[in-house]
Amino acid sequence: MFPFMAQGHLIPFLSLSLQLEQKGYQITFINTPLNVANLRRTLPPSPAIRFIEIPFNPSDHNLPPQSENTDSLPPNRIFDLLVASTALEPGFRSILNNLYNSENPPFCVVADFFFGWSISVSHEFGLCHVIFSGSSGFGLACYFSSWVNLPHKNCDSGEFMLPDFKEAGKLQVTQLTPSLVAATGVDPWSKFQKKNLPAWAEADGFLFNTIEKLDRVGLSYFRRKFGKPVWAVGPINLPVTGGSPTRKNEKCLEFLNSKPPSSVLYISFGSQSSITASQMMQLAKALDKSNKSFIWVVRPPLGFDINADFKPEEWLPENFKTILEDENRGLIIEKWAPQMDILSHESVGGFMTHCGWNSVLESLSCGVPMLGWPMAAEQFYNAKMMVEIAEVCVEVARGTSFDVRSEDLKEKIEEVMSEDGKGKEMRKKAFDIKMMIEEAMRDEEGFKGSSVEAMEEFLQAPLLMKKMNNNTNT
């Protein structure tokens, strides 16, 4: 297992490792020293999962000391870490060489889509190489196609089609990350992707944390584009991370138990995303005017230290928190909440989310429709997929550089949370997808769901490849 150094990459790889451990496989998890130390603290010791540190010195790449994870860097330096990660190649080759010559050599490398260079290194040792993405097939397909079909910055209408992914429909320039909007084909980001993306064609397969029926449009793109196996093995359960959950669990449960079914809106923008102070104020006003019950996980607004101590009251209307909590209509939670406990409660009827794929899967697994507020990376494509294909989401805003109005937010909150009309339709479709996910994960005598079958096929692929190589060599 070899993920890029970011929580959104490390955690899905760790989850996949835990799932494979339960199936009796030995896992070697490779990452930089600080990330390995943090992961070791997260997991109880297990003889089946071995961590190996790959040498990396941030200072060699003009990065601040201990900058081995995107969490420790401001947004404008994340690309520098991505470029620096290419320097891991010699260390990766050395680790594979040692493993290859050990008593129990590996038979498959599962690596990050940012590490295209690792494919040829794996093949030097005759190892099967699979790219794993913790995001949706649709999201990664939009991302890949957008990069190989530059430029987009001269798009006069603000809309465009991807020539090799027309089934995605029209994309809007506002759904692209700043690096994609600015990309010319010769800028630093473009130069990185021109080396990284073509290497994917040499991978032996693609593994996605998604569901076949839900994500068929995106998965079909990769099958057509590369002619390689594509396995949808999700949803992969994520390990619980966060601070002292006990008191928060009790507080949330007490609040939810006091509410009717499907009446509470849950609001959380993930562990790494924040809206602006102005947007936070408008959202608070919208919640107040909507008269809907809610649980809101509040973090410091954009531009402030996301990990610092803070008081939510500083960024909310005067007495907002006190009045709503006294009325038992709203619950403000600081920084972290037991998300799956909340989403799985019958009182929750909607989820305002940044559309990170893990959050989307958790919402769908609980049959909860969404209000999408994508902010970065493939979140814009996930929102598009949920709105246009799955039809279980209403997009309320896009990014943090635009003003939002409380009246618009209130209208969309009421639309999703309504007992009839579109709200009722979306809850029905979300429930249908919940059933689809449960079926994909079923593993019973006489029936194996699509995700179970895909996992079995993936686990057989490296052995088949090894057998073919042995036959070729003899």
Residues 460 and 367 in one domain: no
What's the domain count of the chain?
2
Residues 377 and 290 in one domain: yes
Specify if 441 maps to a domain: no
Residues 261 and 288 in one domain: yes
Give the pLDDT band (50/70/90) at residue 464.
confident
Specify if 209 maps to a domain: yes
Specify if 19 maps to a domain: yes
Residues 272 and 158 in one domain: no
Residues 285 and 305 in one domain: yes
Residues 212 and 280 in one domain: no
pLDDT tens by residue, 87-140: 999 999 999 999 999 999 999 999 999 999 999 999 999 999 999 999 999 999
Give the pLDDT band (50/70/90) at residue 248.
confident
Residues 282 and 229 in one domain: no
Residues 199 and 250 in one domain: no
Residues 198 and 303 in one domain: no
Specify if 282 maps to a domain: yes
Residues 30 and 145 in one domain: yes
What CATH number does the domain containing 466 carry?
3.40.50.2000
Specify if 180 maps to a domain: yes
pLDDT of residue 242: 46
Residues 208 and 258 in one domain: no
Specify if 96 maps to a domain: yes
Domain assignment of residue 269, given as a range: 246-436
Share of residues in the chain with pLDDT > 70 (%): 96
Specify if 442 maps to a domain: no
Stated pTM of the model: 0.93
Full 3-state SS string of the chain: CECCCCHHHHHHHHHHHHHHHHCCCCEEEEECHHHHHHHHHHCCCCCCEEEEECCCCHHHHCCCCCCCCHHHCCHHHHHHHHHHHHHHHHHHHHHHHHHHCCCCCCCEEEEECCCCCHHHHHHHCCCEEEEEECCCHHHHHHHHHHHHCCCCCCCCCCEECCCCCHHHCCEEHHHCCHHHHHCCCCCHHHHHHHHHHHHHHHCCEEEECCCCCCCHHHHHHHHHHHCCCEEECCCCCCCCCCCCHHHHHHHHHHHHHCCCCCCEEEEECCCCCCCCHHHHHHHHHHHHHHCCEEEEEECCCCCCCCCCCCCHHHHCCCCHHHHHHHCCCEEEEECCCCHHHHHCCCCEEEEEECCCHHHHHHHHHCCCCEEECCCCCCHHHHHHHHHHHCCCEEECCCCCCCCCCHHHHHHHHHHHHCCCHHHHHHHHHHHHHHHHHHHHHCEECCEECHHHHHHHHHHHHHHHHHHHHHHHHC
Residues 253 and 231 in one domain: no
Specify if 340 maps to a domain: yes
Share of residues in the chain with pLDDT > 90 (%): 81
